[in-house]
Structure 1
Amino acid sequence: MSTDAVFYQAAALCLTYPDDDFVARLPLLREAAPQLREFTDHAAVTPPQELAAHYVQVFDFKDRHSLYLSWWHDGDTRRRGMSLVRFKEVYQAYGMEFTGEELPDFLPAVLEFTARTGNTDLLTEHRDCLEQLRRRLNDFGTPYACVLEAVCAALPTRRGWEITRR
């Protein structure tokens, strides 16, 4: 597995609910993806129940920090259904069938897809969404912002695109 693939897979794990498996994988994540060390170091010293409660506070109570990429573009509109179909079609084009409990635009699922295929198109197409999420997580003061910082920094740049940091 390439270093990019390892990074995207580690980022996917960091953005999922921090269950016992996540806590057990922290030492491996820390070593495998140094770009995420600020977050993994924080997670390693935070009691598991506190880490889980923080995840719920950040991602489950408000759409302001939605991990669903189509929500950023389409909101809760009918258009979103077509966007979700597009995600599934991209997965299918790579011989993958989305069968997760989450929707196909769930950022950890997209990161895992990127890790498995090397295709960053879904992430780069939603760069603006990722940047909005990154800014909001920074403003909220959560360590999850470090994960989005690393993901945004790892994406290929587009001509005329500059990442603005706050």
Structure 2
Amino acid sequence: MMDRTFKALSLLLSYPSTELQAAMPEISAALTADARVPAATQQGLAKLADWLATGDIYDVQEAYVMLFDRSRTLSLNLFEHVHGESRDRGGAMVSLLETYRNSGFDPVTSELPDHLPVLLEFLSTRPFAEAQEILADAAHIFDAIRTRLGRRESRYAPVFAALMHLSGTIVNTAAVAEILQQPDDDPTDLEALDAVWEETEVTFGPDPNAGCPQVRDMLAGMDTLTPLNRSA
């Protein structure tokens, strides 16, 4: 049975589209119905969903890009925060992809396997105890990103607060502090960002130029949603 909360959180962190905007009331309802998420965090998630639903699509897309695409310290590719560009990252990526496939999960996206919306999509298909164990391993990353988003007064911070609650673990403060030692990126410094991201992109999913499933089919209902492909 699909865990609607993990599905909803995956969609909140997906690249905004008009189709996603239309689905926000259903996504918000799924989150506010989950007693595992504290009321204060639910309120923050509802505010984010409302902003995504009603905001100008170009404004919300720009905000998303400035946060998650132009700020490496806010990257939604989780291994970026623990492995950087070391060889360990490639091995971890392959291992995660094998975990997906061994569980019968084949991501329909051009994103990397460690992309958080993809991981949450996978967790929505797994028993909660298993999902919670995986979240616990990444809780220090979630806390670091939540802290950085809080500094920017970002509406997205409650998503990571929710993930920390759902992980059911006490965060390793030393591990969080180690991640936070890296200075925040300046998303407006394009020259510096180009230098940071100059390495060749690695893709594990389908060819992003090969097209993607019809978005209206993906948004037909919470039980059949799949991750939004940014090439749509």
TM class by shorter chain equals: 0.7 to 0.9
Shift of residue 27, structure 1, vs aligned partner: 1.2
> CA–CA distance in 1 between the matches of 2:125 and 2:22?
22
What's the CA shift string for 1:58-104, capped at 9, x where partnerless? 11112010001111110112111011012112212312234520000
Counterpart in the other structure of 1:107: 116
Which structure 2 residue ranges, 5 or more long, are not aligned?
A: 33-41, 174-232
Which amino acid is the alignment partner of residue 143 of structure 2?
Answer: E
**Is contact 2:73-2:81 (8 Å) kept?**
no
Selected match of 1:17 from 15, 18, 28: 15
Count of paired positions: 159
Rounded Cα–Cα distance in structure 1 between residues aligned with 2:172 and 2:30: 25
Rounded to whole Å, the distance in 2 between the matches of 1:130 and 1:28 is 24
TM-score normalized by the length of structure 2: 0.64
Instruction: Spell out the pairing of 1:1-166 with structure 2 (5 A cutoff).
Output: 1=1, 5-34=3-32, 35=42, 36-118=45-127, 119-120=130-131, 121-157=133-169, 161-162=170-171
Identity %: 30
What stretches of structure 1 of length at least 5 have no aligned partner? none
Q: Distance in 1 between matches of 2:29 and 2:88?
A: 41
Separation in 2, partners of 1:162, 1:61: 26
User: What is the CA–CA distance in structure 1 between the aligned matches of 2:122 and 2:74, rounded to whole Å?
Assistant: 21
Contact 1:88 1:104 in 2 (8 A): yes
Give the root-mean-square deviation of aligned CA atoms: 1.8
CA contact (8 A) 1:38 1:146 kept: no
> Is residue 4–residue 30 contact of structure 2 (8 Å, CA) maintained in 1?
yes
Structure with the greater alpha carbon radius of gyration:
2
Whole-angstrom distance in 1 between the partners of 2:106 and 2:54: 36
Shift of 1:163: 8.2
- Once the two structures are TM-superposed, the CA of residue 135 in structure 1 deviates from its matched residue by 1.0
TM-score by structure 1 length? 0.87
Query: Structure 2: how far apart are the matches of 1:62 and 1:162?
Result: 23
Structure 2 distance, partners of 1:162, 1:56, is: 28
Paired amino acid for 1:117: R
Structure 1 pair 162–126 and aligned structure 2 pair: CA distance change class (3 A): closer
Q: What one-letter code is carried by the residue in structure 2 that aligns with 1:45?
A: T
Q: How much has 1:125 moved relative to structure 2? A: 1.3
